[in-house]
């Protein structure tokens, strides 16, 4: 059951990283720049970690097959695009609601894991996923106010914020399954080595891809990311800690279960939204989040 505390630590670190990225997004960087901050400063740290671990343990770098590269790059692309969606979502809804939206990844991870890896989920696990998904659907109905009345009809649920949130969930689901498949493709019995090597490859590829895109489309953002190194470096550190824990958990347990327990991130995000950003939620939003937390409890019961 080591994967459970590892997943909780991953969720805690990820909340801290999204808080820092939200600060960068609303203060000085574009969506792409705030996303690059995550990868640019974490990639060299992960590479050093892998090199140090290999030196201390006396192990060699495991061979990387075509299956590993395919799964790692698909997972990396999914995570990169998902992060862009989440950062963009912060401009439309509160921090806590933005994080909750992205947790549609749980049901989508389960579906993707079943289709790609053949990983079955128990009936109680399916119930937990459905309960959590209902909660997320309730969140897609935006709050009402005189200044910004709620859209009519299906527009209440099908809007830009919902599209970004569901897009992030789907893409995070793809990344979770891709990372698990990549880690399992490495021929090594060392769980930490498999997780850290996968992470090093992915973060390096993500950094190169996004930096090249920004150099072409938003050249000024590269300089702003470097100039914001005090905050951006913290983004990189929290990203490395969170990602390393996620990758380790994916190596130890089915991706759908890891993502389900990882919804404890909602508790951390609501505390941050309230204590740090001074944001408040409606009763409906609170009820929706409660449903998602119930789904986490059911998932834990399903795998005991």
Tens-of-pLDDT digits for all 304 residues of the chain? 788 899 999 999 988 988 888 888 777 788 899 889 889 999 999 999 999 999 999 999 999 999 999 999 999 999 999 888 888 877 766 666 666 666 666 666 666 667 777 767 778 877 877 887 787 667 656 555 544 455 544 455 556 777 787 788 788 878 888 998 999 999 999 999 999 999 999 999 999 999 999 999 998 899 999 998 989 899 989 988 998 898 888 888 877 678 778 878 877 887 888 887 777 777 877 787 788 778 767 766 776 5
Q: Is the pTM of the predicted complex or chain greater than 0.85?
A: no
pLDDT at 269: 80
Contact status, residue 86 vs residue 168, Cβ threshold 8 Å: yes
Neighbours of 60 (CB within 10 A): 9
DSSP state of 64: -
Buried b (16+ CB within 10 A) or exposed e, 137-158: ebbbbbeeeeeeeeeeeeeeee
Distances (CA, A) of 302 to 11, 112, 240, 298: 20, 19, 30, 6
Domain coordinates in residue numbering, the chain: 3-141+157-302
pLDDT at 153: 47
Diameter of the chain measured on Cα atoms: 65
DSSP state of 60: P
Q: Is residue 263 exposed (0-12), middle (13-18) or buried (19+ Cβ within 10 Å)? A: buried
Contact status, residue 30 vs residue 228, Cβ threshold 8 Å: no
Please spell the DSSP secondary structure of 275-290, one letter per residue.
HTS-----HHHHHHHH
pLDDT at 64: 96
């Amino acid at each position: 059951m080591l994967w459970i505390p590892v997943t909780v630590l991953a969720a805690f670190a990820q909340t801290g990283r999204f808080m820092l990225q939200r600060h960068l997004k609303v203060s000085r960087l574009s969506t792409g720049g705030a996303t690059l901050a995550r990868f640019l400063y974490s990639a060299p740290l992960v590479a050093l970690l892998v090199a140090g671990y290999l030196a201390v343990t006396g192990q060699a770098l495991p061979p990387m097959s075509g299956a590993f590269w395919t799964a790692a790059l698909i997972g990396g692309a999914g995570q990169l695009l998902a992060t862009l969606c989440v950062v963009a979502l912060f401009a439309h809804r509160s921090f806590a609601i933005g994080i909750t939206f992205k947790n549609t990844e749980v049901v989508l991870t389960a579906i993707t894991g079943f289709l790609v890896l053949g990983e079955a989920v128990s009936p109680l696990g399916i119930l937990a996923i459905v309960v959590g998904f209902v909660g997320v659907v309730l969140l897609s109905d935006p709050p009402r106010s005189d200044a910004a009345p709620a859209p009519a009809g299906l527009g209440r649920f099908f809007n830009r914020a919902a599209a970004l949130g569901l897009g992030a969930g789907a893409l995070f689901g793809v990344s979770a399954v891709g990372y698990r498949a990549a880690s399992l493709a490495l021929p090594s019995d060392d769980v930490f080595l498999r997780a850290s090597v996968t992470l090093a490859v992915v973060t390096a590829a993500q950094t190169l891809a996004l930096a090249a895109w920004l150099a072409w489309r938003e050249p000024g953002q590269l300089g702003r990311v470097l100039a914001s190194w005090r905050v951006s470096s913290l983004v990189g550190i929290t990203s490395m800690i969170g990602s390393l824990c996620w990758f380790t958990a994916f190596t130890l347990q089915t991706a759908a279960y890891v993502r389900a327990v990882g919804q404890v991130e909602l508790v951390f995000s609501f505390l941050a939204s309230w204590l740090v950003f001074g944001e408040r939620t409606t009763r409906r939003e609170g009820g929706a989040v409660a449903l998602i937390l119930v789904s986490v409890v059911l998932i834990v019961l399903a795998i005991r």
